[in-house]
Structure 1
């Protein structure tokens, strides 16, 4: 029964933090340590619940994804498949090339701590610079901006940096509004996260057992439901609050990480 409680908490944490610029990886590692939810099976569990968060975005933006299947690349067509492809290329190349090294060397307390602080600083810079907005809405984003956001997404391969934090910052530094950058981040994250999660799932398939199905299912459902709520809430927040607020939260979380590491 306690394992199911752990699964629900971890699923809630994943759903809340995956699309916020606060690092879901950092939160999951910290929460797992606090709950005693660690080990190889638990690592596989986090991959499964990430797919729950991916499904949340797919459901919320299903009309957008259907439209992308038209492959209309005209400039006046708004957001199209080419935007997504351009944004995926940089992170995709680095992820495929460095996947094993990232898993081996970058998933630990120290590296997550560095990522939280560095990502927070980047977000502060993006918020303070406040470049003139030329792309107010999602459909206004240019191919050049899409590719640049993709370059910033490479930073998210460092655990703790945060995919949404780095990509929203990149968008704002190159002329998109906070809201447009956030929505673009959510949509681009679906193929990237789905691909990475499926690769991880295949690599760790030996840790899967039918007896663990209730545990994985509970975590998946929790991440899906909370993820939907978090995405809608975050988009509304992006109209009202500054990105720097999330930076300060990251610095506090980094301090908590440091305290736990020193124990």
Structure 2
């Protein structure tokens, strides 16, 4: 299989899974393992293509970004609270990511960890969906600073591949009383600093090992993930509004169990 085709496949996987509570990193690790790719070679690629999916959020929510920017220039309270909440939630990931980067990278090569994390995460989603008592908070600016800090701490669980950054932040937000739509959008917007930071860290750390061909493949993967994520985010919000997160929980459980079965036969 050509490198270009591998980059395209992984770009599709990234675009489909980045903003769903199913773990994009986990799926990329499993795809790399089960399809027989060299996991060490593609580990940096899997992280470096994330800006493509991030750009999809910028495009889909450009009106929100413009409104927040305009509000900041006018000193509006809601816009200030919007940015404050995202920055507060971002800080724990920065601290732990820098402190445990090597340990996190080691986990990226363990497909069994991913499979178990998918199953356990799916069960956790079902529990939160059943027990969480949520209420409308009026959007991200209506989330308190304390809630934002707690969401940021829960997001750190996603450093274990297979947990899902999106799933951790959404379920964490709901567990703290935040309504489904705001929880999902908080996860979308928090992805911008979190994934950008992770990508920059990996590219800087491995800059000497990245070739011109690697950059070309990263560009292809990022572009594909951008196109796919545009469609997926819209569909995701429609599914969540109608059915909640239970379908994704059952998918995680089935995917994790199937992965364990396949891995046991290798």
The CA deviation at 1:121 is 2.1
Match of 2:106 in 1: 104
Q: Which deviates further from its counterpart, 232-241 or 211-220? A: 211-220
Match of 2:186 in 1: 184
Match of 1:131 in 2: 133
The CA deviation at 1:3 is 2.2
Secondary structure, aligned partner of 2:122: helix
Contact 1:79 1:139 in 2 (8 A): yes
Match of 1:45 in 2: 45
Q: How far apart, in 2, do the equivalents of 1:154 and 1:163 lie? A: 8
Secondary structure, aligned partner of 1:238: helix
Contact 1:6 1:35 in 2 (8 A): no
Contact 1:14 1:24 in 2 (8 A): yes
Aligned length: 263
Q: How far apart, in 1, do the equivalents of 2:78 and 2:68 lie? A: 14
The answer to whether the aligner puts 1:54 opposite 2:22 as a matched pair is no
Deviations 1:16-48 (A, max 9, x none): 001100011121112122333324331222122
Matches within 5 A, 1:7-26: 7-26=7-26
Contact 2:114 2:163 in 1 (8 A): yes
Give me the TM-score of the superposition, normalised by structure 2: 0.90
Q: How far apart, in 2, do the equivalents of 1:187 and 1:132 lie? A: 20
Contact 1:127 1:244 in 2 (8 A): yes
Contact 2:22 2:164 in 1 (8 A): yes
Q: How far apart, in 1, do the equivalents of 2:234 and 2:141 lie? A: 18
Match of 1:164 in 2: 166
Return closer, same or farther for 1:188/1:230 CA change in 2, 3 Å cut-off.
same
The CA deviation at 1:156 is 0.9
Match of 2:3 in 1: 3
Q: How far apart, in 2, do the equivalents of 1:213 and 1:171 lie? A: 36
Match of 1:80 in 2: 82
RMSD: 2.2
Contact 2:119 2:256 in 1 (8 A): yes
Secondary structure, aligned partner of 2:128: helix
The CA deviation at 1:226 is 0.6
Q: How far apart, in 2, do the equivalents of 1:111 and 1:148 lie? A: 25
Q: How far apart, in 2, do the equivalents of 1:72 and 1:180 lie? A: 24
Q: How far apart, in 1, do the equivalents of 2:216 and 2:99 lie? A: 34
Deviations 1:157-201 (A, max 9, x none): 111000111111111111111111001101011101101111111
Contact 1:26 1:112 in 2 (8 A): yes
Contact 1:127 1:243 in 2 (8 A): yes
Q: How far apart, in 2, do the equivalents of 1:218 and 1:44 lie? A: 14
Contact 2:115 2:259 in 1 (8 A): yes
Q: How far apart, in 2, do the equivalents of 1:30 and 1:105 lie? A: 12
The CA deviation at 1:215 is 2.5
Contact 2:89 2:153 in 1 (8 A): yes
Contact 2:135 2:179 in 1 (8 A): yes
Match of 2:239 in 1: 237
The CA deviation at 1:52 is 1.1
Q: How far apart, in 2, do the equivalents of 1:125 and 1:53 lie? A: 28
